[in-house]
Amino acid sequence: MCLHVQRAARAVARRYDEALRPTQLTNGQFSLLMSLNRLEAPSIGKVAALLAMDRTTLTANLKPLERRGLVKVTVGDADRRSRLMILTPAGRAILGAAVPLWKRAQLATERLVTRSSPDRLRADLRALS
């Protein structure tokens, strides 16, 4: 089953990457921007935990978004060692354009997956790839 899950994960990622292409965001970048779409700026550690990735990977994924002016990294007020991430106005605008594209991809993906037995789930995962 592991092979089917891995294949499906890659296929799903490709689906979302393709859907988000007009915004020049990858699925991973979209998830990162969504995790920053909140009232208070989160720390790198909190976002890394939310997205289940290590801080080094998160920082590497953050760099292209910073270069595009979509995210700004600042020093924490309470703890000068912490880094906080802020979604810029440009980041909010691109996220606003990306959400409808993501929702369409989500609906299309959900239509391919049904509740089922393990054998049926494997077949559904194959349908995604």
φ, ψ of residue 40 to 5 degrees: the values are -105, 135
Reported as a single tens digit per residue, the pLDDT across 7-45 is 888 998 999 999 999 999 999 999 999 999 998 899 898
* pTM listed for this prediction: 0.82
Cα four-point dihedral sign 71, 104, 46, 49: negative
| Matching residue, tokens 């939310």 | 50
Reported as a single tens digit per residue, the pLDDT across 74-95 is 887 777 677 899 999 999 999 9
Specify the DSSP class assigned to residue 43.
Answer: B
- Distance, in Å, from the CA atom of 126 to the CA atom of 11, rounded to the nearest integer, reads 9
Cα 80 to chain centroid distance, Å, stands at 27
